[in-house]
Structure 1
Amino acid sequence: MLALAACLAAALPLFPLPVQAAEPEPATPAAWSAWGGTVGLNLYPDLIGDLGLSIERRSDVLPARSARLTDGLGVRQSQTVELFALRSTASIAFRAERGTLAGFSGGSVQARGGYVFTLPDGQQLDLTDFRLQPNPGDPRKLDVAGSDGTVWFTIDNLMYELVKDNRVLAVYTADMRASAALAARVGRPALAGHPVGDVEILAEIYSQGSGGVYDPQGTGGHWHGEQVAGQPAGTVYQADLFMLDINVTRMRQSAATGPEGSGRVVFAPDSTLKNNVNNGTAQPTVSGQGALGTSAALWTARIPWYGKFSGNFAPYNNDQHPFLIWNMYRINADGGIEQIGRSGVKHAWLTTNFGCAPGENISGQILGRSCSDTYSTFNNDANQDLSFRSEIIPATGQWGRCGSLFDPGCVGSNTNWTPPDDQYGRRLVVNEEQISATRHPGATFLFDSWYLAREDINIYNSMASVTGTPTYSGTNWSFANQANYRLGSVTDRWVEGAPAGTTVANTELAVSEGHAKVAVRVVDLGDGRWTYHYAVHNLDFARAVTEGSEPNLRVVSNKGFNGFSVPLQAGAVVSANRFSDGDLDAGNDWTFSTAGNRLSWTAPAGGSLDWGTLYLFSVTVDAPPSAGSSQLGVAQAGTPAAFDVAVPVPGARPDAIFDSGFE
C-alpha cells in the first residue's frame, strides 16, 4: 500500500504524501479511499449573518490560483471559493457504483486551517483544522466537525465525478448548511438546515475499489428521434425532462430595511430534475401530478449534458446542455398576477445521475432514463455559469455561444471565465416594495423554475412552481412557508385558483416558433363594470434572427411580442387600465390606446415581451365578458405579423339596446 501511495504521489505531485506508520484499509472490497487535495469554501455573508455569525479570522488560506487536482482537465473549477489544503494524514472512505460516487462510508479528511467565527453572544466558534466526515443519516451527505467532534455544518446536493482515471474525487459544488447543533447554539433552532455557502472538494484517491466503470452505452445513442431497435419503423426515442422539486433561498440583499424599504433582494432555487422513466409503457415519472406527471413518450431519449466549451459531441455536434431559469410572481388582492422577478440563464454542465434505470448511467454528460440530478442553490447562483436569456433560442434549446457573454470574440472557447459580477446581475432581484405585505395586503406569491432541454416534447412538465410568503424577520428576508409544489405553467394555477363566479380562460398559442399562454380573470365589480386581468405568458416563443451555424451559432435577436390588443364595443366606457412588466420603471411601460375600437397596448423600443416572461394587462370596462379573440403582435418582422388567441373580451354593454334611442 505504501508503494501505491508513493506512485500516486508522483503522478499527482500537488500535495506530497507524508510517510505513514499505517494506512487505513478499505472496509470491504468495494470501498474506495481518498485524502489530500483541497477544500474550497464560499461563505455568503448575508446567510451566515442570518445565524448571527461573522468571520473573526481565517488561517492558512491558500493563495489565489493555487494548484488544484483538476488543473488541466478542462472541468469546472469554482472561481469564488477560499481554498484550504486537505491533510494526507487520514482518509475518507466511499463507495462507487456504475462509475460514480454512491455514498460515503467512513473515515474523515481534515483541512489545514479554517475559520474562527464570532457568535451572537460574543463568544467564538473555532473551526480551524475542521474535519469532513460522512453524515450518519445519509451517505450522500457530509458533516463539518470541529476539533471537539461537534458537527456545526452539513454538506448536501453534491455535484461530483471520479476524474483523472479515477484518481481524483471531484466534488465541484455542494450546499453547506447550519447543523441542528449550530442552530441551537445561536438560539435559532428553526434555522437548522439553513444554507450558508458553497463547497468544492478535490481529494486524491489512493485506494480504488469496485464500481468505478460507467454502464456501457450499447448500440446507438438513444437520442431523440432515433429508431428504437426491435420496434416497428417510426417508433423513436423522445426527450421529455421533468422538474421533480424546487426549494427557494434568499441569497443576499442590499440596503434592505423591511416591508417599508426599497432595498434589493436576490432569490435562487435548488432544482431537482428527473428524466422520463418510460421504456415501452407509460409509467408516472412524478407522482401526484396527474397527467403532467406521466410522459407521452413511451421510449425515453437520453439527454446530452455537455458543459459549455467542452467540445463537440453527438447528437448535435456541439456542447449541447439544458438551461435553467426561475421567476417570482405576486397575485394581487384584486386578482391580477405580476411577474416581479426573473433570473438570467443558468448553463447546466454536469449530471450526477442518481436513480438511473439499469444500463442508463452512461456518463456525467448524458442524462439516461430515470436518472435524476439536483442543481443546488449555490450552483444556480454561480457567476461563472450565468448568462442572458437573449443568447438562447428557447423553442429549439439552442445557445448562441458566438458573441455570448463567455465568447464575445467568437473564437470558440471561453475567454470570459469570470464575468464582472456585482452579485445582482443575471440574478432574480426584487425590490422590497414588490414583496411587502403591508404595501400589497392580501397578495399571495409563487416561485417557479424551468429546465429547457433540446427537443423536449412537453415543456410543461419541465417547469414547476411553489407557493410561499416573503417574510422579513430580524434584519433579513426569506421565502417562507414553501408548499403546494405543482408541475405546469403558473397561469394554469392562477386561473384554476380564481374565486367562484370569476370568468376565466387560459388559451395556449403553440407554433413552431414556440409557446405562449393568454390567460384572463374577469372580475364582476357589481356596479355595471368588469375588470379584465389579461396575463400574457411568453413561455418559449421567439422569432430568432441568427448568423452562422452550430457550434458557433450567433443569436442576433430573439424577440417575442410587442403588441397586445382585444376588441372594444362602440360606446363602451373604459374607467381604468393598468400595465405591469414586473419592474418599477415606468419609462419602459407599454402605452395604452382605445383607438379603432380596440384596447391596445404597444411596447416601446427595446421593451418586447420575450421568452420566460409574463406581463399583466388590466382594464375596467362597463361591458360584460363574451367570446372573442385577442391579438399578439410579433416584435420581429416576418409571417405572420400577429397571432390571434381566443379569450373572453368585453362584449355588448347591458344597456346598449337603448343607445340607439329605441325602447
Structure 2
Amino acid sequence: MRIRTHVIGCAVLLPFAAGASQQWKVSSGDTTMTLYTSMLRDLGLEVVNLRQTGTPMPDAESPVGFAVAPSSDLEFQVQGGALKEFLKGSLRHQGGFDLRWEGRNYSFQNFEIRFRDVRDPHTLYVQVGKDAVAYLEYAQVRFDRSRSLFELGGMDVRLAPELARRMGRPELGGQIIGMMHVNAVAKMVAGDPNDPAPQPSSALGGDARAMGVKDVMLWNVGSLTALGRMGTFPNGVNGLAMSTTSCNVGTENIPWFAPMDERHPVIAQQLYRLKDGRLEQIGIAWVKHGFLSTNSSGCGTCQNPGSGNWLGVRCTDTYGASLNGSRTWLGPRDEINPLTGRWTCRGSYFAGYQDDCVDRRGGSFNPVEHRLEVLDADLNVPGALFFMEAYYISQDDFDRYNNAGWRSVNASWTGSNWSFTNQSAQTQGPVILSWGDMRNIAIPSDEGDAIVAVRVLDLGGGNFNYDYAVYVHTVDRQVESFAVPIAPGTNVTNLSFRDIDQNPNNDWRATVAGDHIVWEGEPFGQQGANPIKYGIMYNFRFNADRAPVNAFTGLGLHKPGVMTAIQALSRTPAQAGLVNAQTAEVLMGQLISGGVANLLFSDNRYMTVGAIRPTELNRPSVEVELTAVSPTQTPSSMSFTLETASDGNPVRSRISLFNYNTGQWEVVDERNGTGGDTTITVNVSGNPARFVQSGTGEMKARIGYVDFGVTFIAWGGRFDKAFWIVN
C-alpha cells in the first residue's frame, strides 16, 4: 500500500551549492495522538493500558503524548538548508496503548515509526516488535534548520491489514483509528557546517510581495472517512471528513498563515445524494482553517517560497481526513465572507467570541459536532449515489470555480460504521453544475454567484414535475426567497421544500400568487431565519399542468443592501413568449433600492428610483433603461407590460421602445402618473420586428416619469413588474 506523504521545503526544488550537504539525526521529542475512541468502541475495540510518557500539543483534540526515545536513530540528509531525503533508522517511542478485541490485547506499546523503503517517504508505518500495526497517511514533513526542529504532522493513522487479519477482522484493514503528529529535535551528525541557507527558487521571493495572480485550485479531493458517530444504526449520526490537496496555479505566492493571522484559506466540505434523479445535500461541515503549506510537488514545477507561510507557485498542499476533521482547526461558516475570502479574527469563535484576537481554542467535543455531519437515514438509501465536495475559499482568488470539485462515492454500512469508496474521477466546480436540464448563475453577479439548476420530468397527461436546486457559491448576503414564474391559470400541486437541517420550524413558506410561486424564510434579524448560505443547497419542487419554457426565476437577498434580489434563467411553467429584462440601468435619478430582478413579479418588491430634476425640457426626472433578448428575430406579435407608481404629482409616466430600423426611441405610451400601482400593457402596432436587433435579438425599453410641476423635492418612481410577450 502506497502511503501519501508531503515534504515541506523539498530540497530538489531549491537551489543549493554543489556538493554541500549535512546529515541530521532525531535526538528527542514528543508524539501527539488523537485516538478516535468513540468510533473504536463502535467497532468493538477498546483502548486500554494507556501509558502517556510525553507532552502532547496543547491545541490538539483530546491529545495523548508519547516521548520519542533516546535510542531513535532516524537520519536524513539536508542540502541548501532543506530536508532532501531520509537515510536510515526509525523513531522509537516510550509508552503507548493496547487495543482490546474479544478479551485479547493488541499492543501499540513502545511503537516505532519506520519506512518500508527509506528511499521512499510515502511508506511510513507503525511497528511494534517485528509486526506492522498501522500505516500513516498524508504526513506533512517539515524541517526547520534554524531551530533544529523536525516534524511529521497531521498523519491519518490507519489499522494495518496485517494486524486486522491477526485480530480476525480483515475488514478493518485501512480503518482510521486516530491522528498523529511528531515534534522532534534533531542534531547534525555529519557534513559541511557551511551548507548555505535556503534561497527561494522563485523570483517572487519568500515574502510573496510580487504583483501577480493568486489562484488556489482544488487539485484533489478523496478519502471520505468516518471519524466518529453517535446513536445506534440506523438512527445515528456520523462525523465525516475528506482529504484535500490544493495547488497554486497562479503567478503569485498565496498566504497560508496559521490562525490567529487572518491570511489563510478555509476549506468547506459538503456531501450530496442522488436518488431517482433527485439531487439533495445531506451534510455540511464547519470550515477548516489552513495553517501551514507543505509546498510539495505534484502540479508542475514547484517554485518553493522557502516558508510554510506561503503556498508557492505550482506547489501543492495536502490535508488528510483527520486534519480536515480536527476541531482544533474547524470554525463556523458564518465568519467567512465567501465573496472576499476574508476571515476576521477579532470576536471570532477561535477568540472565544471576545472583542480581541487572542487564541482561546480548546474544549471538548462529541464525536460528530462541527465535522461533516450526516444521518444514517440519509446514507442508508439503496440505489443512491453520493458526491463528496470540497471548496477552498481564499482572499483575492482569481478563479472562483477551480477551487471547488467533487467525486462520486459509494457508501456501505460495515456493521459498525460507514465506509466510502471513490467511484469517479474528480470534476472541477460545485456538484450542482453537473445536474439537471439547465444550470445558470444568477445575475447581476456584483454580490457574488448563486446557481439555479432545474430538472423537469414529464408526468404525462399534460402534467410536469419541476425540481429546482438553489446553491449559493460566493454570495455573502445569502438568499432568503426563491420565486418561479407561472402562466395565468396554471394548476400547481405538491409543493415541497427541503433544506439541510432537521428543524421543521424554520422551513420556508410556499405561496402561489397570480403570476408566480414563492418560497420565503424569515427576513434578516428575525428569529428562525434560515437563508441559503455559501456552500449550501436547498430544493424546491412542485407539479404543474403546463410545459416548461425559459424564463427568469428570482432569488431574494437576505442581508440588507441596495440590491435586494437577483435572477437566474431556468425552465419554468411561465406564459409562452414571456421575456424578462436582463439589465436595468438608471439613466436619470438615484437608485434607492432594488434592481432588475425586482421587475420579475407583481409582488410589491420594487425597484425604486429617486427623482433628479433634468436640465432639458420634457426630459424624465426618473428613467430606467431595460435590455432583453427576444426568442425570435421575426416576431408576429409583441406587447410590453409595466406595473408602476410614483409619489410625485403631477407627473407623466412614459414608456419608450428602441426602433433598430431608425436608430430612434419611440414613445409607445404616456399618461398621468398615479400614487398606487398601475398596470400598463402596450400592444405593439405595425411590424414588431423593428424593436428587435437583427443578429442578436436584443430589445430595449425605457420606463420613467416626467415632472409636470411637482412642487416638492423628494419624490420618485417605483417599478414592480416589467416584461415583454413576444411570439
TM-score by length of 2: 0.71
**1:651 maps to which of 552, 555, 574:** 574
Whole-Å Cα distance in 2 between the matches of residues 518 and 353 of structure 1?
36
Q: Which residue of 2 aligns with 1:395?
A: 339
- 1:82 to partner: Cα distance: 0.5
TM alignment of 1:55-454, pairs within 5 A: 55-62=47-54, 66=55, 77-96=59-78, 99-120=81-102, 122-136=103-117, 138-147=120-129, 149-163=130-144, 165-207=146-188, 213-216=197-200, 226-227=210-211, 236-257=212-233, 261-276=234-249, 300-310=251-261, 319-333=262-276, 335-355=277-297, 357=301, 359-408=303-352, 410=354, 412-437=356-381, 441-454=382-395
Whichever residue aligns with residue 384 of structure 2, its letter is A
Whole-Å Cα distance in 1 between the matches of residues 207 and 397 of structure 2?
11
Secondary structure of 2:162's partner? helix
Distance 1:360 1:483, change over 3 A: same
8 Å CA contact retained: 2:241, 2:324: yes
Distance 1:60 1:642, change over 3 A: closer
1:586 aligns with 2:538: no
Whichever residue aligns with residue 243 of structure 2, its letter is D
- 1:153 to partner: Cα distance: 0.8
8 Å CA contact retained: 1:449, 1:465: yes
Higher-strand-fraction structure: 2
- 1:34 to partner: Cα distance: 0.5
Whichever residue aligns with residue 576 of structure 1, its letter is N
Whichever residue aligns with residue 116 of structure 2, its letter is N
Distance 1:536 1:67, change over 3 A: closer
Whole-Å Cα distance in 2 between the matches of residues 212 and 521 of structure 1?
62
Secondary structure of 2:328's partner? helix
Whichever residue aligns with residue 579 of structure 1, its letter is F
**Comparing 627-636 with 358-367, which one deviates more in the overlay?**
358-367
8 Å CA contact retained: 2:26, 2:75: yes
Distance 1:420 1:190, change over 3 A: closer
**Comparing 335-344 with 402-411, which one deviates more in the overlay?**
402-411
**1:465 maps to which of 406, 412, 421:** 406
8 Å CA contact retained: 2:78, 2:85: yes
8 Å CA contact retained: 1:624, 1:652: no
Secondary structure of 2:530's partner? coil
Distance 1:29 1:164, change over 3 A: closer
Whole-Å Cα distance in 2 between the matches of residues 538 and 51 of structure 1?
37
Whole-Å Cα distance in 1 between the matches of residues 576 and 33 of structure 2?
65
- 1:38 to partner: Cα distance: 1.0
- 1:412 to partner: Cα distance: 4.3
1:623 aligns with 2:567: no
CA deviations on 1:237-294 (whole Å, 9 max, x unpaired) are 343433323220011111131xxx2211111101111121xxxxxxxxxxxxxxxxxx
- 1:601 to partner: Cα distance: 0.3
CA deviations on 1:339-361 (whole Å, 9 max, x unpaired) are 11111111100011111736433
Whole-Å Cα distance in 1 between the matches of residues 205 and 455 of structure 2?
46
1:635 aligns with 2:558: yes
Whole-Å Cα distance in 1 between the matches of residues 79 and 279 of structure 2?
47
TM alignment of 1:511-526, pairs within 5 A: 511-526=445-460
Secondary structure of 2:396's partner? coil
Whole-Å Cα distance in 1 between the matches of residues 104 and 117 of structure 2?
29
Whichever residue aligns with residue 461 of structure 1, its letter is N
**1:39 maps to which of 22, 28, 31:** 31
- 1:92 to partner: Cα distance: 0.6
Distance 1:102 1:461, change over 3 A: farther
Whole-Å Cα distance in 2 between the matches of residues 650 and 247 of structure 1?
42
Whole-Å Cα distance in 2 between the matches of residues 78 and 141 of structure 1?
25
- C-alpha RMSD of matched pairs (Å): 2.7
Whole-Å Cα distance in 2 between the matches of residues 39 and 325 of structure 1?
28
Whichever residue aligns with residue 470 of structure 2, its letter is V
8 Å CA contact retained: 2:214, 2:254: no
Give the structure with higher Rg (CA).
Answer: 2
CA deviations on 1:486-543 (whole Å, 9 max, x unpaired) are 1111012223xxxxxxx43444546232211111111111232111111111011113
CA deviations on 1:539-559 (whole Å, 9 max, x unpaired) are 11113xxxxxxxxxxxxxxxx
CA deviations on 1:597-641 (whole Å, 9 max, x unpaired) are 211000134211111111111111111100100001011221211
Secondary structure of 1:379's partner? helix
Q: Which residue of 2 aligns with 1:576?
A: 494
8 Å CA contact retained: 2:138, 2:155: yes
Whole-Å Cα distance in 2 between the matches of residues 357 and 185 of structure 1?
43
Q: Which residue of 2 aligns with 1:541?
A: 475
Whole-Å Cα distance in 2 between the matches of residues 38 and 541 of structure 1?
44
Whole-Å Cα distance in 2 between the matches of residues 98 and 518 of structure 1?
52
Whichever residue aligns with residue 304 of structure 2, its letter is E
CA deviations on 1:152-193 (whole Å, 9 max, x unpaired) are 111121234324724111233211112221122233445433
CA deviations on 1:214-253 (whole Å, 9 max, x unpaired) are 43376555999954xxxxxxxx434343332322001111
Whole-Å Cα distance in 2 between the matches of residues 619 and 583 of structure 1?
21
8 Å CA contact retained: 2:228, 2:239: yes
8 Å CA contact retained: 2:90, 2:112: yes
- 1:567 to partner: Cα distance: 0.8
Distance 1:451 1:213, change over 3 A: farther
**Comparing 560-569 with 236-245, which one deviates more in the overlay?**
236-245
Secondary structure of 2:489's partner? coil
Among the aligned pairs, what percent are the same residue?
27
8 Å CA contact retained: 1:245, 1:271: yes
Whichever residue aligns with residue 463 of structure 2, its letter is R
Whichever residue aligns with residue 424 of structure 1, its letter is V
8 Å CA contact retained: 1:103, 1:140: no
Whichever residue aligns with residue 33 of structure 2, its letter is L
Whole-Å Cα distance in 1 between the matches of residues 321 and 428 of structure 2?
20
1:490 aligns with 2:431: yes
TM-score by length of 1: 0.77
8 Å CA contact retained: 2:273, 2:386: yes
Structure 2 gaps of 5+ residues are: 1-19, 578-727
CA deviations on 1:5-45 (whole Å, 9 max, x unpaired) are xxxxxxxxxxxxxxxxxxxxxxx954321122111222212
- 1:432 to partner: Cα distance: 1.5
- 1:649 to partner: Cα distance: 0.8
**Comparing 218-227 with 131-140, which one deviates more in the overlay?**
218-227
Distance 1:161 1:248, change over 3 A: same
Distance 1:391 1:100, change over 3 A: farther
Whole-Å Cα distance in 2 between the matches of residues 602 and 579 of structure 1?
10
Whole-Å Cα distance in 2 between the matches of residues 125 and 648 of structure 1?
60
Q: Which residue of 1 aligns with 2:535?
A: 612
Whole-Å Cα distance in 1 between the matches of residues 449 and 283 of structure 2?
21
Whichever residue aligns with residue 584 of structure 1, its letter is Q
1:599 aligns with 2:517: yes
Whole-Å Cα distance in 2 between the matches of residues 225 and 59 of structure 1?
48
Whole-Å Cα distance in 2 between the matches of residues 494 and 237 of structure 1?
31
Distance 1:99 1:493, change over 3 A: farther
